[in-house]
Structure 1
Amino acid sequence: MHDVSALPPEIEAWFAGRGWRVRQHQSEMLAAADAGQHALLVADTGAGKTLAGFLPTLADFAPSRLAGKKVPDGLHTLYVSPLKALGHDVQRNLMTPVEEIGLAIRIETRSGDTPSDRKARQRVRPPHVLLTTPESLSLLLSYPEAAELFGSLKRVVIDEVHAFATGKRGDLLALCLTRLQALAPDLQRAALSATVADPDAYRAWLAPWGDIDSVAMVEGEPGADPDVSILLPGEETGVPWSGHAAAWAVPQLYEEIQRHKTTLIFTNTRFLAEYIFQLLWDVNEAHLPIGIHHGSLAKEARRKVEGAMARGELRALVCTASLDLGVDWGDIDLVVQMGAPKGSSRLLQRIGRANHRLDLSSKALLVPGNRFEFLEAMAAADAVAAGQRDGEDFRPGGLDVLAQHVMGCACAGPFREEDLLAEIRSSLPYAWLDAAGLSRVLDFVATGGYALRAYDRFKRIVKGRDGFWRLTHPEQAARHRLNAGIIVDNEMIEVRFRNGRALGKVEENFAAQLSPGDTFRFAGTDLEVEQFRDLDLIVRASKSSAQIPSYTGLRLALTTHLADKVRDLIADRSQWGRLPDDVREWLEVQAWRSHLPVPGRLLIESFPHRGLAYTTYYTFEGWNANQSLGMLITRRMEDRGLGPLGFNATDYALAVWGLKPVEDPAALLSPDILTHEFVDWVQQSHLLRRAFREVAVISGLVERQHPGKKKTGKQVTFSTDLIYDVLRKYEPDHLLIEAAWADARARMTDVARVADVLDRAARQIDHVQLERISPLSVPVLSMIGRESLPAGSADDLLLEEAESLASAAMRVDRSEADDNA
């Protein structure tokens, strides 16, 4: 769209006074609002997206538009962001134009950190603009005064929409939007993002009833091209074969910090943030002020660091995704990505933190941890330069989120089933819902389901003779508000021997994949799983070496788009001239000795090593999918008598080893592995129990808090495990069992990407039998020793370090040279 509305003279004068011009996309956002349209704005970081989103609100309060009328009372605009910190940052930045223009707009924030007395006051006397999160908005809608509070609402602005629209928080927000639209029929919706890959999909998500024609597509003016470079080690060391921390770069990184005013250093995990932060302090001879920021730090510590950055007091800040979104610190002149970026949109978002101005290039430095990560960094930089974005696909809304929303609606007041159905179906995530589906959810909220209906504590709502659903007791509302939310903490699991001696803790993501009898290495010891009890993993010393890879912390997922670009880069020899000599030689020897992985085909290599049979699958589907595939393949190998001894996964490859060679990998990759071995694995492991705990908490079946008391993780787990066992036995088709299976398939195992591997295997497998390890196998095999993962039944079966493996892989024998001459 190109029609623009006249900017109120007060606002136009403010722009002129700052030496700014009103950008085209800002004018178009105002025009869309004046035309009564919803709008999606996709614009580069630094393009003034937030101001563009709020411009219609500022215009509504401009004296020239009010034309002598009284400033409107009541809530006018909601601003919804995925992060509490982003709301506070926007409040600071939004107050500047409001105060300088002289607009009578009251702006406040509301989140879990807001004092209870202010929350109560906001419901009675709301500000004109309220900055909040999806969870806090959902709670506001659960109060009886919601109809009065939101009846005056004119506009909802959703910032960084790409960060949460495709997940459960997006489901919750979509349901909140349907409720808001019912309370304020003329409500306009606006969404803002710098990194939307499929704008039409987001327009459909944003629009009532998925009507994308009602959503104006506004594209931002292009900004200066980012200045992205890749850091290389010295010639004497070369690009590392393996590892993710990129610790080799710390001395060079410190030099970059000294050369720049403020450097923001992104890592992909909290562990790496702490690790890199410590390494930087070890070399910080000049005692430069360097800080750290991640989600595990206390709120006070995070706020202290954020304040120091805003005041320009830090020279560098090491952080995680906690600072990916929208925080505007103008003094940052360098962004560093430690390790692989895992996605072009994520990288673009992080690069945008530098300079934060459309007319200046954002400077970024990528620091790959290994050779595959160098290719990934190059592919990501190419994607950013080409303006290519990636992201998660939309999927059907979760039943657990829907159950929470239904309960929230009941807290606000009685409702008719048919009215609620029409309202819910107007959102894209729940457009699939029919009368029978809603009836099933209502029955769950009313009784807990068939197997639980005898227990009064699960009776939360009831249908009256008048046809209206309402709360069974007023106290149910307080219980709901105390426990509602979408984010469920990922617990740390204590590893213990049966006698109670603790060895340490692993993340539940890892522990949930283990079944009794599985072996893994932890604290320098090979352990066998006996049972999972509450939040304890009970183990005993293993008589054989460990088979399952050990805990390595949360990992960001490699996007399909970026994985494809890495594979394309490997297959396109015309691009190899851009590579460092050692990386180019690595690929050249791979092509000469074996094959290269190419799009549409699955490369599988088999070779002997130290008396064992190894097979490497080059899937390029990400660590989570490869980890799941490793679990499934080793089970199938066991059934076929191949004696699997272990596996290791990276984002790009899966290496499996055993006593006997794999002659026919296609038999291990038939599609029925997802209907037989997959179901058995998920049911025997803790995966389904963990997924059930999350959906039970989100749906409100199990409460995390009582007035004045919060349940421990063990108490919540104990409660959900009891209910899970009852439902599995007496009601296996229960709504929450179905929801848990959906989560286990989608989030915990990435089964869709496993299916992509199987699809490729069905079309074309390139199975290469080698006499020894290939160059491309070195990174995945060398990580075995690096992650303390033994690979067989005795110490002599431990793989050599990366350079020893590389020497074997890259060696050219005279006989081979003659054969290939």
Structure 2
Amino acid sequence: MSGKALPKPLSDWFAARGWTVRRHQMEMLQAAGAGRHALLTAPTGAGKTLAGFLPTLADLIEQPDFDGLHTLYISPLKALAVDVQRNLLTPIDEMELPIKVETRSGDTPANRKARQRVKPPQILLTTPESLNLLLSQEDSFTLFAKLKHVIIDEVHAFASGKRGDLLSLSLARLQQIAPDMRRAALSATVADPDDFRAWLAPYGDIDTVTHVLGEEGAPADIAIMIPETPDGDKIRVPWAGHAGVYAIPQVMEQIKANRMTLVFTNTRFLAEFIFQKLWEINEDTLPIGVHHGSLSKEARRKVENAMATGKMRALVCTASLDLGVDWGDIDCVIQMGAPKGSSRLLQRIGRANHRLDVSSKALLVPGNRFEYLEAQAALDAVNEGKRDGEPFRPGGLDVLAQHVMTCACAAPFQEDDLLDELQSSLPYSALDKDTFDRVLGFTRDGGYALKAYDKFKRLRRDGKGVWHLVHPRFATQHRLNAGIIVDAAMMNVRFKNGRNLGKVEESFAAILSPGDTFFFAGMSLELVKLDASDVIVRATKKAAMIPSYMGLRLPLTTHLSDRVRGFLTDRAGWARFPDDVREWLEMQDHRSRLPEPGELLVETFPHKGLHYMTAYSFEGWNAHQSLGMLLTRRMETRGLKPIGFVANDYALACWSMEPVTDPVPLFSADILEEEFFDWIEGSYLLKRAFREVAVISGLVDRQHPGKRKTGKQVTFSTDLIFDVLRKYEPDHLLMQAAWADARARMTDVARLGDLLDRAAGSMVHVELDRVSPLSVPVLVMIGREHVAQGATDDALLIEAEGLIEEAMRGD
């Protein structure tokens, strides 16, 4: 293929539709013709998917007799692969091309999977996990021998995580099998293209990857919804909350005014909650649905089909549709609560219209005053073309162990050859021989403390240094259990007498230690113990020190956090804010101070006989939750008698019986070595992290032929192994991986470390005689954590109004 011109069937097809081939689509064709890898970054509606497939279609038009697998399309979502298949078949059918396109995922019938390996289609659409399973087959070398092209869609969504580690390793293996294979990645939202070029390139050589920049589309039409009365009069931006419930009547008016509206929320709970609130005032009984990851596949498909056929007026959804099915009839996207990142906002806005020449319409509904600033920050970032994203980090050792077993299942290997192959993958480019030997040792027999057990003896090395599977049954077990996504386990909250209070995600239970008090089901509860699947509690009259179970939260990106901090001291810019937001900042400036960029402001003040400390660290709810746990432990040891803490994305507030006169020692960096280590060791957190890495690495099986282990059985198995390793081999490879996960992923410890390092030289302590305006949004949450289910909001409203009046008095 020359790569300079479209074959006639393709050019005729474009002409018949009245379309012109876009510049970036031709550049993708030319890059492929030159044998180069390519990263395409282009806005939604720019025809990215077609651009990715043009080299494939052109190749197969010129080689109509091509027999074998020509192109792999990798999607982070099974639903996206199905949608792409539908859209790709249209041009193929209209051009009457003899090209077969099929999907392969966990939902594909077994007989079709078997046939695909013997007689594959020219184009196969799949996921990272299914690809890695294909590479574990003995016939993978034959299956992929003729592979010409790999297309990775929505690459930003998973490249920097463990699924990206697995895919990067799979690409390295594919490149060994088919050395001339070209890689292409597609995305609408990439913060630093060079990072992704390095991830995409063999051996991280970005010079081999052409960055194709898509044509700019019409700028998005984004507005922030300001609360209004039914008569259209402006009302105040709320002090607290993060759901934007006050705007439900306005949201319903938007639904009525548009053909089709997507209403995004940040959690599954909020999706259900907002849906119910909209339904309560849906007097016209408009067809409105809800879509999130906890719903059954059948329920999701039903609303997706209704949207695709224009039978739905609105869909309330979560990140389950961030990358999802593209529906051209959507003409408005509403974000309830702050978007938490400019790239995420852009991705969600991109679900509307799908035309470059028409502005996508979006409305942001901030839940409180800090969220108003965050919404404005996200809007500014989108308008300036600024993106944010997850940072890249070294690849997970548990993922590496799984992939080594994948390679062993496919064929015997020489370790030097495999090490070189692995190092061609960017996440493992710094993999040294010693670490690789430890991974091989673990894959061989489980390591020093476990090699006495036959069930872990999976590999052997012969006299020529070649590694082999000990028995074919280990390949069968590996294929049944391989994968990166570990289902979030739920745990029962119950009393010792067996009475069940409900379920919480294990990630919440993991942060608890015996004696901790938390709020759940309208009661203050004290943790007695955790067992395999139960959180055993007793009712207590002690105040709940830990905020109530809130489910998973999207993290606030550092990029948006920095922008919000910048707003606080940009006094000239306050003029564009609503009056009440501007007055709030002005009163804070008058009564206390506003934190300068890079500065940690800590305020202390009395309130109703207790002593409060509020730190404005802007590091996100997840990091603040961890810091709150650590600070209250340190306060306890120093005799300050802490009672509890509460956090939002912007601030953390602790309250105690004794005043904090000097906060500097509380925030010293050694808290991550002393209290953090003790907390991790004493909580369930490390065991939970170990369970995930044990499953991913293949140490513990999730299922056997014909049956699947329950979450309780898996937890029991991993807990036993964890106890053995902690006692006899604490430096085991998986213990190392579990600590890395517990520190980096589950507690945002990297952001905590940055915060504490900054605190040493930038803390400003302001002692006040009463509540400050800036502290009200976080303090208002305290009451919400302790009101029993079914109680009225009157007490909360009175308390909030009292706080606001106290904070905003000018004297």
**TM category, shorter:** over 0.9
Residue 679 of structure 2 is aligned to residue 685 of structure 1? no
Q: Match of 2:274, as an amino acid?
A: I
Is 1:33 matched up with 2:27?
Answer: no
Once the 2 structures are TM-superposed, how far is the Cα of residue 803 of structure 1 from its aligned partner?
A: 2.4
Q: Is the 8 A contact 1:785 1:799 kept in 2?
A: no
Mapping for residues 179-328 of structure 1, pairs under 5 Å = 179-234=173-228, 235=233, 237-328=235-326
What is the distance in 1 between the residues matched to 2:596 and 2:773? Answer: 16
Q: Which segment is superposed worse, 798-807 or 767-776?
A: 798-807
Aligned counterparts of 1:4 and 1:189: Cα–Cα separation in 2: 15
The AA in structure 2 aligned to 1:382 is: D
Query: Is the aligned partner of 1:149 residue 2:143?
Result: yes
Match of 1:450, SS state, is coil
Cα pair 1:224 1:361 within 8 Å, conserved: yes
Distance 2:516 2:237 in 1: 35
Where 1:291 maps in the other structure, the secondary structure is strand
Q: Which residue of 2 aligns with 1:24?
A: 23
Match of 1:89 in 2: 83
Question: C-alpha displacement at 1:317, in angstroms?
Answer: 0.6
Partner of 1:10 in structure 2?
9
SS at match of 1:696: helix
- Is 1:602 the counterpart of 2:600 in the alignment? yes
Inter-partner Cα distance in structure 1 for 2:83 and 2:195? 28
* Amino acid in structure 2 at the alignment position of 1:356: H
Counterpart of 1:700? 698
Note if 1:47 corresponds to 2:46: yes
Give 1:168-187 correspondences, 5 Å limit. 168-187=162-181
Alpha-carbon distance in 2 for matches of 1:331, 1:598: 45
SS of residue in 1 equivalent to 2:633: helix
What one-letter code is carried by the residue in structure 2 that aligns with 1:151?
A
What amino acid is the match of 2:372?
Answer: F
Structure 1 counterpart of 2:382: 384
CA distance in 1 between counterparts of 2:7 and 2:594 reads: 61
Give, in angstroms, the shift of residue 541 of structure 1: 2.2
1:31-72 per-position Cα deviation (integer Å, ceiling 9, x unaligned): 10000000001111111110111110011022xx34xxx520
Given the alignment, which residue of 610, 614, 628 partners 1:630? 628
Q: What secondary structure does 1:452 align onto?
A: coil
Amino acid at match of 1:558: L
Name the residue aligned to 1:474.
472
SS of aligned partner of 1:648: strand
d(CA) in 2 for partners of 1:354, 1:653 = 34
Q: Is the 8 A contact 1:240 1:371 kept in 2?
A: yes
SS of 1:40's equivalent? Answer: strand
Contact 1:644 1:656 in 2 (8 A): yes
Cα distance between partner residues in 2 of 1:160 and 1:801: 46
Task: Provide the residue aligned with 1:793 in structure 2.
Answer: none
| CA gap 1:138/1:4 in 2 versus in 1, 3 angstroms | closer
Residue of structure 2 in register with 1:167 after alignment: 161
Which secondary structure state, in structure 2, belongs to the residue aligned with residue 554 of structure 1? Answer: coil
Structure 1 residue 559: Cα displacement: 0.3
Give the superposition deviation at 1:327.
2.1
Q: Secondary structure at the match of 2:693?
A: helix
Q: Distance in 1 between matches of 2:438 and 2:642?
A: 44
Equivalent residue, structure 1, for 2:773: 775
Residue 105 of structure 2 is matched in structure 1 by 111
Deviation at 1:605, TM superposition (A): 0.6
Distance in 2, Cα, partners of 1:148 & 1:786:
61
Cα distance in 1 for partners of 2:758, 2:585 equals 22
Equivalent AA in structure 2 for residue 45 of structure 1 = T
Q: How does 1:628-667 map to 2 (within 5 A)?
A: 628-667=626-665
- The CA distance in 1 between the partners of 2:281 and 2:52, in whole Å, is 44
Aligned residue for 1:494?
492
Instruction: Tell me if the contact between 1:411 and 1:471 (Cα under 8 Å) persists in the aligned partners.
Output: yes
- State the TM-score, normalized to the length of structure 2: 0.97
Partner SS, residue 616 of structure 1: strand
2:568–2:585 contact (8 Å) kept in structure 1: yes
In structure 2, relative to structure 1, the CA distance for the partners of 1:800 and 1:447 (3 Å cut) is farther
- 1:352 counterpart residue number: 350
> Separation in 2 of the partners of 1:52 and 1:451?
52
Tell me which residue corresponds to 2:792: none
Range with bigger deviation, 150-159 or 458-467: 458-467
Aligned-partner Cα distance in 2 for 1:608–1:548 = 21
Q: CA deviation at 1:127?
A: 0.6
Shift of 1:162: 0.3
Distance 2:432 2:764 in 1: 46
Residues 801, 112 of structure 1: alpha-carbon distance in 2 compared, 3 angstrom cutoff: farther
Residue aligning to 2:365 = 367
Select which of 60, 74, 77 maps to 1:80: 74
Out of 564, 578, 587, the position equivalent to 2:585 is 587
Please state how far the C-alpha of 1:543 moved relative to its aligned partner: 4.3
Instruction: Indicate the SS of the match to 1:486.
Output: coil
Bigger shift: residues 598-607 or 490-499: 490-499
Q: Secondary structure at the match of 1:801?
A: helix
What is the deviation of 1:102? Answer: 2.3
Corresponding pairs, count: 800
- Secondary structure, aligned partner of 2:351: coil
CA-to-partner distance for each residue in 1:738-785, whole Å, 9 max, x for gaps? 000000111100001001111221121111111111111111111111
Q: Is the 8 A contact 2:79 2:324 kept in 1?
A: no
Over the aligned positions, Cα root-mean-square deviation in angstroms equals 1.4
Structure 1 regions of 5+ residues with no counterpart? 791-796, 817-821
Higher mean alpha-carbon deviation, 483-492 vs 203-212, is at 483-492
| Structure 2 gap ranges (5+) | 789-794
Q: Secondary structure at the match of 2:449?
A: helix
Tell me, in whole angstroms, the C-alpha distance in 1 between the residues paired with 2:541 and 2:626: 25
Report the alpha carbon displacement of residue 249 of structure 1 after superposing the two structures with TM. Answer: 1.1
Q: Which residue in the other structure is 1:337 paired with? A: 335
**2:58 paired residue number:** 59
Deviation at 1:236, TM superposition (A): 6.3
Distance in 2, matches of 1:632 and 1:667, equals 13
- Provide the secondary structure at the position in 2 that maps to 1:241: coil
Cα distance change on mapping 1:213 and 1:205 into 2, 3 Å: same
Q: Distance in 1 between matches of 2:785 and 2:356?
A: 43
Cα deviations by residue, 1:105-133 (Å, 9 ceiling, x for unpaired): 11001111111111111111111110100
Matched residue SS, 1:485: coil
The answer to which of 613-622 and 756-765 deviates more is: 756-765
Which of 705, 709, 712 does residue 711 from structure 1 map onto?
A: 709
Question: Is the 1:40–1:190 Cα contact (8 Å) retained in structure 2?
Answer: yes
Cα deviation per residue 1:405-429 (whole Å; 9 max; x = unaligned)?
Answer: 0111111111111111010000000
| CA distance, structure 2, for counterparts of residue 495 and residue 419 of structure 1 | 50
Shift of 1:799: 10
Q: Which residue of 2 aligns with 1:415?
A: 413
Is 2:519–2:785's contact at 8 Å kept on the other side of the alignment?
Answer: no
C-alpha distance in 2 between matches for 1:593 and 1:441? 58
Give the whole-Å Cα distance in 2 for the aligned partners of 1:690 and 1:604. 33
SS at match of 1:221: coil
Indicate the SS of the match to 2:359. coil
Counterpart of 2:306, as a letter, is: A
**Quick check: 1:784–1:799 contact (8 Å CA) kept in 2?**
no
